[in-house]
Structures are given as structure tokens and as C-alpha cells.
A = this chain, B = another copy of it.
């Protein structure tokens, strides 16, 4: 007998079918036992009693949570008054045969209960089966799919950015070192930035979903040792606003896909679908600082960056005043941005860069990049870096690169903010930080 997916049972009322999945609940009432098998598509109530089959009852009574079973049974419509407004709420499965594919040890805790974070993380192979975790990572997969779909539809080509890099050219303190064969040291990439710029010379429009690595000695709710960076870069732009426009399309694509596929998840997490107007509001950093000053009395004008509290305020302001869960802040000062950032000719000292803020934090950083070779070499020197260390990358510019720009965002942070999870560790399947790689590290 072919297996039927649990979500499709409604098409088989009156028939005998086989379902397969994990036992997510067992309620034994003696003469009748209720078993709730779960497969990747959902759950159904299965009933074992003498009404359906004699031998199925004792077999069903042996089952325990997380046992893996095949159940053959008859799909029966429920009486009108017994129906529930949920998947398979209108039917039940009358158990005729139970086959155990795998037993499970007794669970160390109720997996659907509130767990402290270390317990959750120590037991991921089990706790990822929680409804909350499954919903989180199903949504994360949708975000990625929608990201790629929008970009593929706009002439972008995916590329594979390297994880191992030869130098720590940007001089970041937070880079992991690697023993690379005999006598060599290599590093783990902290961003695909330089490679995606080179790739605009090949395909004009490129994107990548790449693991990147940060050796940040910080165990806050925001930091991970490795995360998935989702990036795009596009050539032949007029300025950073073309990038913001493409990013708006990407965000809209993600929000639509989440709306189509994860409405129930948003409900369960008690969060709303983000508001994305046709044009996401944008303002210069200096304008944002004026608004903060006039609205809150706090004077941060002239500061080179926003404090976390300012980002929170601006998101609240954008939502209440401008009807958007997203807001672009542009024109960060040259000295706060990396060497490749394009300076605005009409606003000297400030860059054609932006951050996209969402629900209180920056989720995207982007902007136009310097494309002129001589200017880029000078910018590298201005930051106290050595052009020789960038020789490979600089070839792209030496041999003609168009005006270009792009963005990078962290998949885990975006997922976290979408669902209001509050901790990026729960938006990373197998999070690594300074204290943990799967299990806690012993020092």
C-alpha cells in the first residue's frame, strides 16, 4: 500500500490508507486509545478501539512519543459537532494495523514545553522537532527560495563565493585562522564582498548565499561564529538608489512568499506580516538624527552612526508615521564605512551607502561601491591598508568595472526578526558561538 501524506487524508474519506510518521501524542483510555501521528505535512487523530480492529488496540497502547510508525487505517468523517477547525479536524483515522519502524527512548522532557536555552541546544536532534523550531526553519527555507526567485527573475546569476581566503586583507580582528597545509595560514571569509564585486565583471548581476565566519568574542543574542550571508551585487547602476530599489523587490518577494506559505506560523508566533510600502521610506543619517532630536529631545546630530536605541526609535517612527516596517538610512560618513564605499560627490564626507532597518535593528548593509581603479587604490591607502594585499581583487578594477553596488544580509537575523524570536541562536539550526559547537566546549 502506498503511503498517503497526512495533509491529503481529506481526499480519502471512506478508504483504507497507510500513513507514516512520528507519534506526537498517545492518550490511552483503556478501551480506546488516541494516537496522533505527525509527518512532514501535519498531524491527524488516529483511534484504536474494538470498533475498528481488535489487535490494533493493544499494539497502539504500546506506542510512545517519537516512535516512528506506519499506521494502516480507515479515514472516517467525524460527526458535524465533533469537527474542529484545523488540519484533519473533520476526520479521524480508524487504526487497523500498526507497524513500528523505530522505537524511541523515553523523552528527557516534554519537547513542546518551554525550555531553557542550553537544554534546547544540547538536545537539538530532538528539540528541532518542536513545532516552533520546525516552523522557524521552514520559514527560513522560504526566505531563501524567495530571495533567489526574485533575483533569478531580474537577470542575476548565482555564484559560489569561497570560504577559505588567503589573507586577512581588511585587518579585522574577528577572523578565524586556519592551518593550511604545511607552514601556511589561511583565514575563513567574513564576507563574500570582494568576490561579488569581481563577479560583476563576469555576469553584471550576481548573488550568493554563503557561510561567513566571525570570531567575535561575544555571547550576546546577536552573535554567531558562522552564519549564512545572503548577498547580491549589480553593475550599471546610477547610484545606491538602484540597489535600494532591487532590495525592495527582494523584500517584497520574501514577504509575499511568507504570506502565502506561513500565515499560520505568524499567527502562532504572535507576529504580523511586515508592512512593505511600494517605496520603502528612506532618509539620510543626518535627517534621521534631526527627527530623533525633534521627536525625543535627544541630540545625536553629528554622530557617525546610530545607537541601538536610535534604530529602535526610527523603526517605530517609520511604522507609525510612514506605514512601513522597513526604513532605509543613507549617507553614513566615509570614515565609518569600508574602503570600497562610494563617496557622494554632492555631499562630501558622506557615502552612497545605506542600512535597512527592520523591527528595531539593521538587517541589511549596502550601497554603491567605488569602481575606479585609481580612486580605489587611494581609498585603500586612506584606511591605512596595503594595496598589495588586494592585488588579486584589484585586477577586476584594473581591467574595467562598471558602477556597481549591492547588499549583504544575515539570513538568521532576518528570520529572527520576521518571527520576533528574540535570539539569533534559535534562528540558526546548529548555532556556533564562542562557547558551543553542538555541545558546550570544555575549556
Contacts and interface: CB of A to CB of B under 8 A. Distances in A.
A236 B182 CA distance: 45
Contacts of A66: 399-400
Contacts of A165: 437-438
A104 B400 contact: yes
A432 B164 contact: yes
A128 interface: yes
B398 A439 contact: no
Interface string A212-235: 010101000000011010000000
Contacts of A181: 215, 217, 434, 441
Given A158-B145, A159-B141, A177-B178, A441 B166 contact: yes
A269 interface: no
Contacts of A155: 5, 40-41
Interface in A327-349: none
A438 B228 CA distance: 22
Given A105-B398, A395-B125, A438-B392, A141 B162 contact: no
Contacts of A40: 155, 157, 203-205
Contacts of A310: none
Given A40-B205, A211-B163, A195 B443 contact: no
Interface string A191-212: 0000100110111110000110
Among A133, A164, A166, the one with the most B-chain Cβ atoms within 10 Å of its Cβ is: A164
Contact of A3 (B177, B211, B236): B236
Contacts of A166: 437-439, 441
Contacts of A403: 101
Among A123, A203, A438, the one with the most B-chain Cβ atoms within 10 Å of its Cβ is: A438
Contacts of A430: 161-162, 195
Contacts of A228: 160
A152 interface: yes
Given A158-B144, A217-B181, A201 B129 contact: yes
Chain A interface, >50% SS class = mixed
A213 B160 contact: no
A203 B39 CA distance: 8
A68 interface: yes
Interface in A106-136: 107, 123-126, 128-129, 133-134
A22 interface: yes
A169 B117 CA distance: 25
A255 to B, nearest CB: 19
Contact of A372 (B102, B138, B429): B102
Given A402-B20, A411-B160, A186 B103 contact: no
Contacts of A282: none
Contact of A439 (B105, B177, B391): B391
A178 B393 CA distance: 25
Contact of A441 (B22, B41, B162, B184): B184
Nearest to A158: B141
Contacts of A164: 213, 225-226, 432, 437
23 contacts: A20-B236, A20-B402, A22-B201, A67-B400, A102-B371, A102-B397, A102-B400, A104-B398, A105-B373, A105-B398, A105-B399, A107-B399, A126-B201, A133-B202, A148-B148, A162-B226, A162-B430, A164-B432, A176-B178, A180-B225, A183-B443, A184-B441, A184-B443
Interface of A: 3, 5, 20, 22, 39-41, 66-68, 101-105, 107, 123-126, 128-129, 133-134, 137-138, 140-141, 144-145, 148, 152, 155, 157-166, 176-184, 186, 188, 195, 198-199, 201-205, 210-211, 213, 215, 217, 225-226, 228, 236, 371-373, 391-393, 395-403, 411, 428-430, 432, 434, 437-439, 441, 443
Given A40-B155, A101-B403, A162-B429, 6 more contacts: A125-B198, A128-B199, A163-B213, A164-B437, A184-B441, A392-B439
